[in-house]
């Protein structure tokens, strides 16, 4: 086991040091060691451990390196959020009657581990905004519904795979090929559904494991994504559908920069834009961890993610100036869906093209194993009786 840890592509001891030092900041009562001194004593070690992980990383595969780099930066940013941007001991579990510092050491350790491991804060009173409501099903009903969702996701992924492998330009269009106007938009939808299905499959699988084994109640596992019907503005897409998992990471940094550093008036347009820009810059930084660990580049993720802040700002102005010109709510939504799809049709290639160049995604050449393709072609035949 020790040899396996030593052979890991990233430094597991350094990774554990990041985690343990953050736990120290969260767990030690403020009357024992004031928050200022906790930050001064422990957080530099978190920074050094993260830097050491990147410095000593040994390349494996592009995908593993990319995911590992994302994870390291994400954990670092969560550490910063809970340890520097706020006093995390003010975070209370739902139904927690006493202050965190009034509990014993082991209780505080469990509380801190749960805080770090629960990115949306489902078990806490300050959960992420726009998190879907908790499931109301019984344990058995939850397991059955999530198993059916897994099957649905598998079939959708299979169908998406067939379409992806039938299109050699799905990741990068050929500028010399004249295509129908609808095809690039269809590719954008296809890639979006494929990505959403992948994340939802991972979340559903983990929820099945924890709820089915009795570790968690169904209420601890609301849906990972918000309602897709809300995707008629960019702000809704990122705020209500997609970015719930990093809200508790970015919001404290947003407020710190806009209110403490820049001292911008609350509720002002400039304050709102700065917070948007900080949020998407942190998202870009998280993905830059993967870029750097995979191909030692820091320029891949910034254009796509930071551009989203400018897209939302432009969208806000258009809605403010011309939102009243269309009286029908249905028409406004249709226009919104077209706008969001057009925006991603424009901006997604900025990052996908770089992913192709670095080898994170590959232009498909042939289909993989497919249940739907096997049934359609007659290679897989079901015999009854």
Residues 110, 25 share a domain: yes
How confident is the model at residue 146, as a pLDDT? Answer: 93
How confident is the model at residue 350, as a pLDDT? Answer: 87
Residue whose entry in the numeric block shows the structure tokens 């035949």: 381
Residues 162, 304 share a domain: yes
Residues 283, 145 share a domain: yes
Domain housing 265 = 139-358
Spell out the residues 6+ positions from residue 164 whose beta carbon is closer than 8 angstroms to its own. Answer: 170, 190, 194, 364
How confident is the model at residue 377, as a pLDDT? Answer: 59
Give the Cα separation of 162 and 239 in Å (integer).
31
Residues 70, 179 share a domain: no
Give the Cα separation of 98 and 96 in Å (integer).
6
How confident is the model at residue 372, as a pLDDT? Answer: 65
Inside any domain, residue 310: yes
Spell out the residues 6+ positions from residue 294 whose beta carbon is closer than 8 angstroms to its own. Answer: 59, 62, 65, 66, 69, 358, 360
Asked if residues 141 and 211 have their Cβ atoms less than 8 Å apart, the reply is no
Residues 332, 211 share a domain: yes
How confident is the model at residue 8, as a pLDDT? Answer: 61
Split into its structural domains, the chain has a count of 2
Residues 197, 342 share a domain: yes
Residues 150, 93 share a domain: no
How confident is the model at residue 110, as a pLDDT? Answer: 92
How confident is the model at residue 371, as a pLDDT? Answer: 62
Inside any domain, residue 288: yes
How confident is the model at residue 41, as a pLDDT? Answer: 92
How confident is the model at residue 380, as a pLDDT? Answer: 55
Inside any domain, residue 168: yes
Residue whose entry in the numeric block shows the structure tokens 């191909």: 295
Q: What is the pLDDT of residues 144-162, one digit of tens each?
A: 999 999 888 878 877 777 7
Inside any domain, residue 371: no
Residue whose entry in the numeric block shows the structure tokens 């299979």: 158
Inside any domain, residue 122: no
Residues 146, 260 share a domain: yes
Inside any domain, residue 293: yes
Q: What is the pTM of this model?
A: 0.85
Residues 282, 157 share a domain: yes
Give the Cα separation of 58 and 77 in Å (integer).
23
Give the Cα separation of 52 and 46 in Å (integer).
10
Low-confidence ranges of the chain (pLDDT < 50): 1-7, 366-367, 383-385
How confident is the model at residue 236, as a pLDDT? Answer: 93
How confident is the model at residue 59, as a pLDDT? Answer: 84
Residues 150, 108 share a domain: no
Residues 285, 238 share a domain: yes
Q: What's the Rg (C-alpha) of the chain?
A: 23
Residues 16, 151 share a domain: no
Inside any domain, residue 376: no
Inside any domain, residue 365: no
Q: Which neighbouring-strand residues pair with 93?
A: 124
């Amino acid at each position: 086991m020790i040899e396996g840890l030593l052979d890991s592509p990233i430094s597991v001891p350094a990774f554990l040091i990041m985690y343990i030092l953050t736990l120290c900041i969260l767990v030690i009562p403020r009357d024992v060691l004031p928050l200022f001194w906790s930050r001064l004593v422990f957080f530099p070690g978190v920074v050094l451990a993260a830097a050491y992980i990147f410095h000593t990383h040994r390349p494996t595969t592009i995908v593993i390196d990319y995911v590992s780099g994302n994870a390291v930066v994400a954990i670092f940013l969560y550490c910063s959020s809970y340890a520097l941007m706020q006093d995390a001991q003010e975070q209370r579990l739902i139904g927690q009657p006493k202050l965190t510092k009034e509990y014993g050491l082991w209780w505080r350790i469990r509380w801190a581990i749960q805080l770090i491991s629960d990115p949306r804060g489902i078990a806490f009173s300050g959960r992420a905004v726009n998190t879907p409501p908790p499931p109301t099903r019984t344990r058995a009903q939850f397991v059955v519904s999530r198993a059916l969702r897994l099957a649905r996701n598998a079939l959708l992924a299979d169908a998406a795979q067939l379409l992806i492998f039938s299109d050699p330009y799905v990741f990068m269009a050929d500028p010399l090929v004249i295509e129908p106007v609808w095809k690039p938009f269809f590719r954008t939808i296809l890639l979006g559904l494929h990505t959403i299905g992948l994340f939802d499959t991972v979340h559903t699988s983990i929820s099945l494991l924890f709820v089915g084994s009795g570790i968690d109640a169904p209420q601890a596992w609301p849906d990972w994504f918000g309602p897709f019907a809300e995707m008629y503005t960019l702000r809704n897409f990122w705020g209500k559908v997609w970015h719930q998992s990093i809200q508790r990471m970015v919001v404290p940094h947003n407020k710190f920069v806009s209110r403490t550093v820049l001292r911008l008036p609350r509720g002002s347009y400039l304050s709102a834009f700065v917070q948007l820009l900080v949020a998407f810059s942190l998202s870009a930084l998280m993905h830059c961890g993967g870029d750097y660990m995979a191909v030692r580049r820091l320029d891949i993720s910034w254009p796509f993610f930071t551009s989203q802040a400018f897209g939302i700002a432009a969208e806000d102005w258009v809605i403010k100036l011309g939102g009243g010109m269309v009286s029908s709510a249905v028409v406004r939504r249709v226009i919104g869906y077209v706008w969001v799809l057009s925006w991603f049709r424009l901006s997604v290639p900025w990052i996908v093209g770089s992913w192709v160049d670095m080898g994170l995604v590959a232009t498909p050449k042939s289909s993989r194993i497919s249940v739907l393709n096997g049934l359609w072609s007659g290679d897989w035949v079901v015999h009854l009786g």
